[in-house]
Chains A and B, each alone.
Chain A
Amino acid sequence: MKPTYQIISPTLGELVWNAEPTDELLGYQLAYLTHIQNQYSSDLVEVRQGFTRLSLVWKTLLNQQEFARTLRDIQLDPIKLPDTVWEVPVCYDPVFGHDLAPLAESKNLSLAEVVHLHTAPSYRIHFFGFLPGFFYLNGLSSKLLAPRKSTPSIAVPPGSVAIGGSQTGVYPMQSPGGWHIIGRSPLTFFDPKQPIPVWAKPGDQIQFLPISVTQFDNWKEQLPKSVQK
Protein backbone atom coordinates (compact mmCIF):
# COMPACT_ATOMS: atom_id res chain seq x y z
CA MET A 1 0.00 0.00 0.00
CA LYS A 2 2.48 2.57 -1.24
CA PRO A 3 0.88 6.01 -1.46
CA THR A 4 1.32 8.50 -4.27
CA TYR A 5 2.00 12.16 -3.50
CA GLN A 6 -0.08 14.98 -4.94
CA ILE A 7 1.25 18.53 -4.76
CA ILE A 8 -1.70 20.92 -4.46
CA SER A 9 -0.24 24.37 -3.69
CA PRO A 10 3.37 25.51 -3.15
CA THR A 11 3.14 24.50 0.51
CA LEU A 12 0.28 21.92 0.57
CA GLY A 13 0.28 18.36 -0.67
CA GLU A 14 -1.13 14.99 0.29
CA LEU A 15 -0.28 11.33 0.40
CA VAL A 16 -2.98 9.49 -1.53
CA TRP A 17 -4.22 5.94 -0.97
CA ASN A 18 -6.99 4.95 -3.36
CA ALA A 19 -8.40 2.22 -1.12
CA GLU A 20 -11.22 1.63 1.33
CA PRO A 21 -10.46 2.77 4.90
CA THR A 22 -9.39 -0.34 6.86
CA ASP A 23 -7.17 -1.18 9.83
CA GLU A 24 -4.44 -2.08 7.36
CA LEU A 25 -4.62 1.27 5.58
CA LEU A 26 -4.65 3.08 8.94
CA GLY A 27 -1.51 1.11 9.90
CA TYR A 28 0.22 2.42 6.76
CA GLN A 29 -1.01 5.97 7.34
CA LEU A 30 0.33 5.98 10.90
CA ALA A 31 3.64 4.52 9.71
CA TYR A 32 4.04 7.34 7.17
CA LEU A 33 2.88 9.90 9.74
CA THR A 34 5.51 8.75 12.24
CA HIS A 35 8.24 8.63 9.59
CA ILE A 36 7.39 12.12 8.31
CA GLN A 37 7.23 13.60 11.82
CA ASN A 38 10.61 12.05 12.67
CA GLN A 39 12.41 12.99 9.46
CA TYR A 40 10.84 16.28 8.38
CA SER A 41 9.52 18.03 11.49
CA SER A 42 11.67 21.13 10.97
CA ASP A 43 10.31 21.53 7.39
CA LEU A 44 6.65 21.01 8.30
CA VAL A 45 3.97 23.38 9.58
CA GLU A 46 1.25 20.78 10.07
CA VAL A 47 -0.03 17.29 9.23
CA ARG A 48 -3.73 16.39 8.92
CA GLN A 49 -5.13 12.90 8.60
CA GLY A 50 -8.28 11.66 6.87
CA PHE A 51 -9.63 8.22 5.91
CA THR A 52 -7.54 7.88 2.74
CA ARG A 53 -5.20 10.89 2.76
CA LEU A 54 -2.40 12.35 4.85
CA SER A 55 -2.12 16.07 4.12
CA LEU A 56 1.13 17.91 4.70
CA VAL A 57 1.70 21.66 5.05
CA TRP A 58 5.32 22.57 4.34
CA LYS A 59 7.26 25.69 5.22
CA THR A 60 8.48 26.13 1.63
CA LEU A 61 7.95 24.71 -1.86
CA LEU A 62 11.54 23.45 -1.80
CA ASN A 63 10.83 21.47 1.38
CA GLN A 64 7.84 19.91 -0.34
CA GLN A 65 9.66 19.09 -3.57
CA GLU A 66 12.51 17.53 -1.61
CA PHE A 67 10.02 15.28 0.18
CA ALA A 68 8.21 14.39 -3.06
CA ARG A 69 11.55 13.25 -4.57
CA THR A 70 12.60 11.13 -1.58
CA LEU A 71 9.17 9.51 -1.22
CA ARG A 72 9.89 7.21 -4.18
CA ASP A 73 12.65 5.55 -2.16
CA ILE A 74 10.56 5.09 0.98
CA GLN A 75 9.01 1.69 1.59
CA LEU A 76 7.35 1.41 5.00
CA ASP A 77 5.61 -1.44 6.77
CA PRO A 78 2.32 -0.69 8.52
CA ILE A 79 2.56 -0.12 12.26
CA LYS A 80 0.85 -2.56 14.60
CA LEU A 81 -2.26 -0.72 15.79
CA PRO A 82 -2.60 -0.21 19.56
CA ASP A 83 -4.45 -2.75 21.71
CA THR A 84 -6.16 -0.02 23.74
CA VAL A 85 -9.96 -0.26 23.88
CA TRP A 86 -11.83 2.58 25.58
CA GLU A 87 -15.13 1.59 27.19
CA VAL A 88 -17.65 4.34 26.56
CA PRO A 89 -20.97 4.08 28.45
CA VAL A 90 -24.03 5.10 26.43
CA CYS A 91 -27.63 5.42 27.54
CA TYR A 92 -29.75 4.39 24.55
CA ASP A 93 -33.04 5.39 26.21
CA PRO A 94 -35.28 7.38 23.83
CA VAL A 95 -35.15 10.24 26.37
CA PHE A 96 -31.64 10.85 24.93
CA GLY A 97 -31.78 8.92 21.66
CA HIS A 98 -34.49 10.97 19.97
CA ASP A 99 -33.93 9.33 16.59
CA LEU A 100 -33.52 5.74 17.83
CA ALA A 101 -37.17 4.69 17.31
CA PRO A 102 -37.59 6.20 13.81
CA LEU A 103 -34.21 4.73 12.79
CA ALA A 104 -35.17 1.26 14.09
CA GLU A 105 -38.50 1.47 12.29
CA SER A 106 -36.87 2.45 8.98
CA LYS A 107 -34.57 -0.57 9.31
CA ASN A 108 -37.31 -3.01 10.41
CA LEU A 109 -35.38 -3.61 13.63
CA SER A 110 -36.42 -3.49 17.28
CA LEU A 111 -34.81 -0.89 19.57
CA ALA A 112 -32.90 -3.69 21.32
CA GLU A 113 -31.58 -4.97 17.99
CA VAL A 114 -30.25 -1.51 17.06
CA VAL A 115 -28.57 -1.21 20.47
CA HIS A 116 -27.10 -4.69 20.11
CA LEU A 117 -25.78 -4.00 16.60
CA HIS A 118 -24.26 -0.71 17.79
CA THR A 119 -22.59 -2.11 20.92
CA ALA A 120 -21.38 -5.44 19.44
CA PRO A 121 -18.29 -4.25 17.50
CA SER A 122 -15.38 -2.23 18.74
CA TYR A 123 -14.72 0.74 16.50
CA ARG A 124 -11.33 1.95 15.30
CA ILE A 125 -10.49 5.65 15.74
CA HIS A 126 -9.00 6.93 12.47
CA PHE A 127 -8.62 10.66 13.17
CA PHE A 128 -10.27 13.69 14.78
CA GLY A 129 -12.29 16.12 12.66
CA PHE A 130 -15.60 18.01 12.19
CA LEU A 131 -15.60 19.34 15.79
CA PRO A 132 -12.88 19.61 18.46
CA GLY A 133 -12.53 16.10 19.95
CA PHE A 134 -14.87 14.41 17.43
CA PHE A 135 -13.36 11.04 16.51
CA TYR A 136 -14.06 9.39 13.17
CA LEU A 137 -14.77 5.70 13.72
CA ASN A 138 -14.68 2.78 11.33
CA GLY A 139 -16.64 -0.42 11.86
CA LEU A 140 -20.36 0.42 11.86
CA SER A 141 -22.58 -2.55 10.99
CA SER A 142 -23.88 -2.28 7.43
CA LYS A 143 -27.36 -2.97 8.90
CA LEU A 144 -27.25 0.45 10.62
CA LEU A 145 -26.27 2.64 7.67
CA ALA A 146 -28.62 5.63 7.48
CA PRO A 147 -28.45 8.66 5.16
CA ARG A 148 -27.95 11.94 7.00
CA LYS A 149 -31.14 13.74 7.99
CA SER A 150 -32.45 16.11 5.31
CA THR A 151 -33.01 18.80 7.97
CA PRO A 152 -30.14 18.98 10.49
CA SER A 153 -30.91 19.50 14.19
CA ILE A 154 -30.01 23.01 15.34
CA ALA A 155 -28.49 21.97 18.66
CA VAL A 156 -27.33 18.41 19.28
CA PRO A 157 -26.40 18.12 23.02
CA PRO A 158 -22.83 17.23 24.05
CA GLY A 159 -22.23 13.49 24.48
CA SER A 160 -24.83 12.58 21.85
CA VAL A 161 -24.04 9.30 20.09
CA ALA A 162 -25.12 9.32 16.47
CA ILE A 163 -25.18 7.54 13.12
CA GLY A 164 -24.71 9.37 9.81
CA GLY A 165 -24.19 7.55 6.52
CA SER A 166 -21.74 4.72 7.21
CA GLN A 167 -20.32 6.55 10.25
CA THR A 168 -20.99 6.57 13.95
CA GLY A 169 -19.59 9.05 16.43
CA VAL A 170 -20.07 11.19 19.54
CA TYR A 171 -20.68 14.95 19.56
CA PRO A 172 -18.16 16.32 22.10
CA MET A 173 -20.00 19.65 22.40
CA GLN A 174 -23.30 21.21 21.45
CA SER A 175 -23.44 21.68 17.72
CA PRO A 176 -25.81 21.67 14.77
CA GLY A 177 -25.81 18.17 13.32
CA GLY A 178 -27.42 16.05 10.62
CA TRP A 179 -26.78 12.61 12.11
CA HIS A 180 -29.42 10.39 13.78
CA ILE A 181 -29.09 10.64 17.58
CA ILE A 182 -29.43 7.19 19.15
CA GLY A 183 -28.13 7.78 22.70
CA ARG A 184 -25.97 9.86 25.01
CA SER A 185 -22.76 9.26 26.93
CA PRO A 186 -22.10 10.89 30.33
CA LEU A 187 -18.35 11.19 29.58
CA THR A 188 -16.36 14.29 28.64
CA PHE A 189 -14.94 13.99 25.11
CA PHE A 190 -13.10 17.29 24.84
CA ASP A 191 -11.58 19.24 27.73
CA PRO A 192 -9.69 22.42 26.77
CA LYS A 193 -8.45 22.75 30.36
CA GLN A 194 -6.15 19.79 29.77
CA PRO A 195 -2.89 20.27 27.85
CA ILE A 196 -3.97 17.36 25.61
CA PRO A 197 -7.73 17.92 25.33
CA VAL A 198 -8.74 14.38 24.24
CA TRP A 199 -8.12 11.03 25.98
CA ALA A 200 -7.87 8.73 22.96
CA LYS A 201 -5.65 8.71 19.89
CA PRO A 202 -5.88 7.48 16.30
CA GLY A 203 -5.54 3.68 16.21
CA ASP A 204 -7.24 3.16 19.59
CA GLN A 205 -10.63 1.44 19.72
CA ILE A 206 -13.98 2.46 21.19
CA GLN A 207 -16.41 -0.03 22.72
CA PHE A 208 -19.87 1.33 23.54
CA LEU A 209 -21.48 -0.14 26.69
CA PRO A 210 -25.23 0.26 27.25
CA ILE A 211 -26.28 1.89 30.56
CA SER A 212 -29.67 2.79 32.05
CA VAL A 213 -31.07 6.26 32.67
CA THR A 214 -30.39 5.80 36.42
CA GLN A 215 -26.80 4.82 35.75
CA PHE A 216 -26.45 7.80 33.42
CA ASP A 217 -27.81 10.18 36.08
CA ASN A 218 -25.44 8.81 38.72
CA TRP A 219 -22.38 8.57 36.48
CA LYS A 220 -19.46 10.30 38.23
CA GLU A 221 -16.41 9.63 36.04
CA GLN A 222 -15.67 11.98 33.17
CA LEU A 223 -13.15 9.66 31.54
CA PRO A 224 -13.63 6.10 30.23
CA LYS A 225 -11.90 2.96 31.47
CA SER A 226 -9.40 1.47 29.06
CA VAL A 227 -8.65 -2.21 28.61
CA GLN A 228 -5.98 -3.93 26.52
CA LYS A 229 -7.26 -6.54 24.08
Chain B
Amino acid sequence: MSQVQGKAVLLRCPPGSSLQDEGRMLGTQFGIPSSGAMDQFSYRWANHLLQNQNNALALEMAQPGLKIQFEQACKISLAGARVVVKVNQETLTNPTIISIAAADILEVGGFQSGSRLYLCIQGGFQVDQFLGSGSDFESVTFPSKRSTNDCLSYFSFPQSLPIGAKPKWGTTWFESAEIKAYPGADWSLLSAEQQHQIQTRTFHLSKFSNRMGIQLEELIPNQLEDLPTNPVFPGTVQLTPGGRIIVLMRDAGVTGGYPRILHLSEEGQSQLAQKKVGDPIRFQLMESIAAG
Protein backbone atom coordinates (compact mmCIF):
# COMPACT_ATOMS: atom_id res chain seq x y z
CA MET B 1 0.00 0.00 0.00
CA SER B 2 1.42 3.41 -0.88
CA GLN B 3 1.72 5.73 2.05
CA VAL B 4 2.57 9.34 2.80
CA GLN B 5 3.87 10.80 6.04
CA GLY B 6 1.08 12.23 8.19
CA LYS B 7 1.16 14.49 11.22
CA ALA B 8 -1.33 15.13 14.00
CA VAL B 9 -1.14 18.11 16.34
CA LEU B 10 -2.25 17.76 19.95
CA LEU B 11 -4.14 21.05 20.22
CA ARG B 12 -5.08 20.08 23.78
CA CYS B 13 -3.56 17.06 25.52
CA PRO B 14 -4.90 15.89 28.88
CA PRO B 15 -2.27 15.21 31.57
CA GLY B 16 -1.20 11.58 31.82
CA SER B 17 -1.39 10.89 28.07
CA SER B 18 1.31 8.71 26.56
CA LEU B 19 2.06 6.52 23.56
CA GLN B 20 1.86 2.82 24.46
CA ASP B 21 2.13 -0.58 22.84
CA GLU B 22 2.36 -4.17 24.12
CA GLY B 23 5.40 -3.28 26.21
CA ARG B 24 9.20 -3.21 26.20
CA MET B 25 9.97 -6.83 27.15
CA LEU B 26 13.57 -6.57 25.88
CA GLY B 27 14.31 -3.88 28.48
CA THR B 28 13.32 -5.64 31.69
CA GLN B 29 16.71 -7.43 31.91
CA PHE B 30 18.23 -3.94 32.36
CA GLY B 31 15.70 -2.96 35.03
CA ILE B 32 13.44 -1.03 32.66
CA PRO B 33 9.73 -1.40 33.48
CA SER B 34 7.85 -3.12 30.67
CA SER B 35 5.37 -0.22 30.26
CA GLY B 36 2.74 -0.73 27.54
CA ALA B 37 -1.00 -0.10 27.50
CA MET B 38 -2.62 -0.40 30.95
CA ASP B 39 -5.73 -2.01 29.44
CA GLN B 40 -4.16 -4.39 26.93
CA PHE B 41 -7.59 -5.83 26.11
CA SER B 42 -8.98 -2.53 24.76
CA TYR B 43 -5.64 -1.58 23.18
CA ARG B 44 -5.51 -4.86 21.24
CA TRP B 45 -9.14 -4.56 20.23
CA ALA B 46 -8.64 -1.03 18.85
CA ASN B 47 -5.60 -2.20 16.87
CA HIS B 48 -7.47 -5.25 15.62
CA LEU B 49 -10.25 -3.04 14.26
CA LEU B 50 -7.69 -1.38 11.97
CA GLN B 51 -5.93 -4.65 11.06
CA ASN B 52 -2.80 -3.17 12.61
CA GLN B 53 0.25 -5.15 13.61
CA ASN B 54 0.13 -6.38 17.20
CA ASN B 55 2.59 -3.85 18.57
CA ALA B 56 1.26 -0.70 16.81
CA LEU B 57 1.59 2.38 19.02
CA ALA B 58 -1.61 3.93 20.39
CA LEU B 59 -2.31 7.11 22.36
CA GLU B 60 -3.43 6.22 25.91
CA MET B 61 -5.48 8.81 27.79
CA ALA B 62 -6.50 8.74 31.45
CA GLN B 63 -8.49 11.99 31.44
CA PRO B 64 -10.92 13.73 29.09
CA GLY B 65 -10.10 16.82 27.06
CA LEU B 66 -8.13 15.63 24.03
CA LYS B 67 -8.32 17.90 20.99
CA ILE B 68 -6.30 16.62 18.06
CA GLN B 69 -6.03 17.80 14.45
CA PHE B 70 -4.95 15.39 11.73
CA GLU B 71 -3.16 17.07 8.84
CA GLN B 72 -3.63 14.13 6.46
CA ALA B 73 -6.47 11.67 5.95
CA CYS B 74 -6.38 8.50 8.06
CA LYS B 75 -8.45 5.83 9.78
CA ILE B 76 -8.52 5.73 13.55
CA SER B 77 -10.20 3.57 16.17
CA LEU B 78 -11.15 4.13 19.80
CA ALA B 79 -11.65 1.62 22.61
CA GLY B 80 -11.64 1.49 26.40
CA ALA B 81 -13.50 4.12 28.42
CA ARG B 82 -16.88 5.20 27.04
CA VAL B 83 -16.59 8.84 25.98
CA VAL B 84 -18.33 11.50 23.92
CA VAL B 85 -16.41 12.04 20.69
CA LYS B 86 -16.81 14.94 18.30
CA VAL B 87 -15.28 15.38 14.88
CA ASN B 88 -15.40 18.97 13.66
CA GLN B 89 -17.80 19.70 16.56
CA GLU B 90 -20.27 17.05 15.46
CA THR B 91 -20.98 14.27 17.98
CA LEU B 92 -20.48 10.74 16.65
CA THR B 93 -23.04 8.08 17.54
CA ASN B 94 -20.78 5.01 17.60
CA PRO B 95 -17.17 6.18 17.65
CA THR B 96 -15.31 2.89 17.22
CA ILE B 97 -13.72 3.22 13.76
CA ILE B 98 -13.58 6.72 12.32
CA SER B 99 -12.59 7.92 8.87
CA ILE B 100 -10.65 11.15 9.24
CA ALA B 101 -10.26 13.67 6.40
CA ALA B 102 -7.33 16.07 6.12
CA ALA B 103 -7.54 18.88 8.72
CA ASP B 104 -10.32 17.19 10.74
CA ILE B 105 -10.36 18.00 14.45
CA LEU B 106 -11.35 15.28 16.91
CA GLU B 107 -12.35 16.06 20.50
CA VAL B 108 -12.90 13.74 23.46
CA GLY B 109 -15.38 14.76 26.15
CA GLY B 110 -16.04 13.34 29.63
CA PHE B 111 -15.46 9.69 30.52
CA GLN B 112 -18.94 8.23 31.13
CA SER B 113 -17.55 4.86 32.09
CA GLY B 114 -14.00 3.58 32.50
CA SER B 115 -10.64 5.26 33.11
CA ARG B 116 -8.50 4.71 30.05
CA LEU B 117 -9.11 5.45 26.41
CA TYR B 118 -7.06 4.20 23.46
CA LEU B 119 -6.78 6.03 20.17
CA CYS B 120 -5.24 3.82 17.52
CA ILE B 121 -4.38 4.87 13.99
CA GLN B 122 -4.00 2.74 10.89
CA GLY B 123 -0.34 1.63 10.81
CA GLY B 124 0.28 2.92 14.36
CA PHE B 125 1.87 6.17 15.52
CA GLN B 126 5.51 6.35 14.45
CA VAL B 127 8.45 6.93 16.82
CA ASP B 128 12.02 5.64 17.09
CA GLN B 129 11.78 2.29 18.85
CA PHE B 130 14.01 1.48 21.84
CA LEU B 131 14.54 -2.18 22.80
CA GLY B 132 11.67 -3.26 20.61
CA SER B 133 9.04 -0.82 21.85
CA GLY B 134 7.84 2.73 21.38
CA SER B 135 6.14 2.97 24.80
CA ASP B 136 6.85 6.25 26.60
CA PHE B 137 8.74 6.01 29.89
CA GLU B 138 10.63 8.61 31.93
CA SER B 139 14.44 8.59 31.60
CA VAL B 140 14.15 5.94 28.86
CA THR B 141 12.34 7.66 25.99
CA PHE B 142 12.40 11.31 24.98
CA PRO B 143 9.77 12.65 25.28
CA SER B 144 8.44 10.44 28.06
CA LYS B 145 4.88 11.76 27.92
CA ARG B 146 2.72 13.72 25.50
CA SER B 147 1.80 17.38 25.96
CA THR B 148 -0.26 20.10 24.31
CA ASN B 149 1.25 21.31 21.00
CA ASP B 150 3.23 18.08 20.51
CA CYS B 151 2.98 16.45 17.08
CA LEU B 152 2.43 12.74 16.45
CA SER B 153 3.63 11.08 13.23
CA TYR B 154 1.74 8.47 11.26
CA PHE B 155 1.43 7.11 7.75
CA SER B 156 -1.54 8.20 5.69
CA PHE B 157 -2.78 5.41 3.41
CA PRO B 158 -4.53 6.84 0.33
CA GLN B 159 -6.10 3.46 -0.56
CA SER B 160 -7.42 2.93 2.91
CA LEU B 161 -9.15 -0.13 4.26
CA PRO B 162 -12.93 0.04 3.90
CA ILE B 163 -14.99 0.44 7.05
CA GLY B 164 -17.45 -2.43 7.20
CA ALA B 165 -19.96 -3.13 9.93
CA LYS B 166 -19.13 -1.07 12.99
CA PRO B 167 -18.56 -3.12 16.13
CA LYS B 168 -20.41 -2.00 19.23
CA TRP B 169 -18.60 -0.21 22.03
CA GLY B 170 -18.78 -2.49 25.06
CA THR B 171 -17.94 -1.55 28.64
CA THR B 172 -19.85 -4.12 30.72
CA TRP B 173 -16.82 -6.44 30.79
CA PHE B 174 -14.91 -4.05 33.06
CA GLU B 175 -17.82 -2.84 35.19
CA SER B 176 -18.01 -6.02 37.28
CA ALA B 177 -16.33 -5.76 40.70
CA GLU B 178 -15.08 -9.37 40.54
CA ILE B 179 -11.42 -9.52 39.49
CA LYS B 180 -9.98 -12.92 38.68
CA ALA B 181 -6.63 -13.58 40.35
CA TYR B 182 -4.31 -16.53 40.86
CA PRO B 183 -2.57 -17.33 44.15
CA GLY B 184 0.68 -15.34 43.99
CA ALA B 185 4.22 -16.67 44.37
CA ASP B 186 4.14 -15.99 48.14
CA TRP B 187 0.44 -16.75 48.79
CA SER B 188 1.31 -19.72 50.98
CA LEU B 189 3.17 -17.45 53.43
CA LEU B 190 -0.13 -15.81 54.41
CA SER B 191 -2.12 -17.03 57.41
CA ALA B 192 -5.47 -18.72 56.83
CA GLU B 193 -7.15 -15.62 58.27
CA GLN B 194 -5.31 -13.30 55.84
CA GLN B 195 -6.18 -15.60 52.92
CA HIS B 196 -9.82 -15.59 54.00
CA GLN B 197 -9.96 -11.78 54.25
CA ILE B 198 -8.36 -11.30 50.84
CA GLN B 199 -10.89 -13.61 49.20
CA THR B 200 -14.01 -12.31 50.92
CA ARG B 201 -13.62 -8.58 51.62
CA THR B 202 -14.58 -5.79 49.26
CA PHE B 203 -11.68 -3.42 48.58
CA HIS B 204 -11.73 0.07 47.08
CA LEU B 205 -9.25 1.84 44.81
CA SER B 206 -7.38 4.59 46.67
CA LYS B 207 -6.27 7.89 45.15
CA PHE B 208 -2.71 6.49 45.03
CA SER B 209 -3.27 4.99 41.63
CA ASN B 210 -1.18 5.54 38.54
CA ARG B 211 0.59 3.64 35.77
CA MET B 212 3.05 2.17 38.31
CA GLY B 213 0.48 0.69 40.63
CA ILE B 214 -2.91 0.89 42.27
CA GLN B 215 -3.11 0.98 46.07
CA LEU B 216 -6.26 -0.25 47.77
CA GLU B 217 -7.86 1.58 50.73
CA GLU B 218 -8.44 -1.33 53.10
CA LEU B 219 -5.56 -2.84 55.07
CA ILE B 220 -4.87 -6.50 55.81
CA PRO B 221 -3.09 -6.89 59.17
CA ASN B 222 0.34 -8.22 58.29
CA GLN B 223 3.39 -9.40 60.24
CA LEU B 224 5.34 -10.76 57.25
CA GLU B 225 8.86 -9.47 56.85
CA ASP B 226 10.26 -8.28 53.53
CA LEU B 227 11.63 -11.11 51.41
CA PRO B 228 14.72 -11.32 49.18
CA THR B 229 14.17 -9.04 46.15
CA ASN B 230 12.62 -11.08 43.35
CA PRO B 231 10.77 -10.49 40.07
CA VAL B 232 7.40 -8.76 39.96
CA PHE B 233 5.16 -8.18 36.95
CA PRO B 234 2.18 -6.10 35.89
CA GLY B 235 -0.65 -7.82 37.77
CA THR B 236 1.48 -8.81 40.78
CA VAL B 237 -0.33 -7.92 44.03
CA GLN B 238 1.99 -7.01 46.90
CA LEU B 239 1.30 -6.79 50.64
CA THR B 240 3.43 -4.20 52.44
CA PRO B 241 4.61 -4.52 56.06
CA GLY B 242 1.97 -1.90 56.92
CA GLY B 243 -0.72 -4.20 55.51
CA ARG B 244 -1.36 -2.17 52.38
CA ILE B 245 -2.30 -3.96 49.17
CA ILE B 246 -0.60 -2.65 46.01
CA VAL B 247 -1.49 -3.99 42.58
CA LEU B 248 1.48 -3.41 40.30
CA MET B 249 0.66 -2.03 36.87
CA ARG B 250 2.59 -1.50 33.64
CA ASP B 251 5.22 1.05 34.77
CA ALA B 252 6.16 -0.80 37.99
CA GLY B 253 9.80 -1.71 38.59
CA VAL B 254 10.73 -5.24 37.52
CA THR B 255 11.64 -6.54 40.99
CA GLY B 256 10.35 -6.05 44.53
CA GLY B 257 10.80 -7.24 48.09
CA TYR B 258 7.22 -7.30 49.43
CA PRO B 259 5.38 -10.63 49.52
CA ARG B 260 3.64 -11.29 46.19
CA ILE B 261 0.27 -12.50 47.36
CA LEU B 262 -1.81 -12.60 44.16
CA HIS B 263 -1.36 -12.39 40.41
CA LEU B 264 -4.24 -10.89 38.44
CA SER B 265 -5.48 -12.66 35.33
CA GLU B 266 -4.79 -10.75 32.10
CA GLU B 267 -8.46 -9.85 31.88
CA GLY B 268 -8.36 -8.74 35.54
CA GLN B 269 -5.44 -6.39 34.82
CA SER B 270 -7.31 -4.70 31.99
CA GLN B 271 -10.48 -4.55 34.08
CA LEU B 272 -8.63 -2.90 36.98
CA ALA B 273 -7.05 -0.38 34.58
CA GLN B 274 -10.57 0.84 33.79
CA LYS B 275 -11.60 1.31 37.46
CA LYS B 276 -11.83 4.71 39.11
CA VAL B 277 -10.73 5.92 42.55
CA GLY B 278 -13.33 4.68 45.04
CA ASP B 279 -14.61 1.83 42.86
CA PRO B 280 -15.14 -1.47 44.73
CA ILE B 281 -13.36 -4.67 43.75
CA ARG B 282 -13.34 -8.23 45.04
CA PHE B 283 -10.67 -10.80 44.27
CA GLN B 284 -12.06 -13.98 42.79
CA LEU B 285 -9.41 -16.58 43.47
CA MET B 286 -8.71 -18.98 40.63
CA GLU B 287 -7.51 -22.50 41.29
CA SER B 288 -3.79 -23.10 41.05
CA ILE B 289 -2.78 -24.50 37.69
CA ALA B 290 -1.49 -28.05 37.58
CA ALA B 291 1.80 -28.82 35.88
CA GLY B 292 -0.23 -30.70 33.24
Contact = CB atoms under 8 A, between A and B. Distances in A.
Contacts of B31: 128-135, 190, 198
B289 A10 contact: yes
A1 interface: no
Contacts of B182: 8-9
Interface in B149-201: 182-185
Interface residues of B, number: 37
A165 B141 contact: no
Contacts of A180: none
Interface stretch (A41-49, A78-86, A110-118): A41-49
A48 B28 contact: yes
Nearest to B233: A12
B230 A132 contact: no
B291 A65 contact: yes
Given A14-B185, A133-B31, A52 B291 contact: no
B229 interface: yes
B289 A53 contact: no
Given A48-B233, A65-B291, A190-B139, A9 B263 contact: yes
Contact of B292 (A52, A68, A129): A68
A48 B139 contact: no
Contact of A69 (B139, B229, B256, B292): B292
B255 interface: yes
Nearest to A10: B289
Interface of A: 5-10, 12, 14, 21, 45-55, 57, 61-62, 65-66, 68-69, 127-136, 165, 167, 173, 190, 192, 196-198
7 contacts: A7-B290, A12-B233, A46-B28, A47-B29, A192-B139, A197-B131, A198-B30
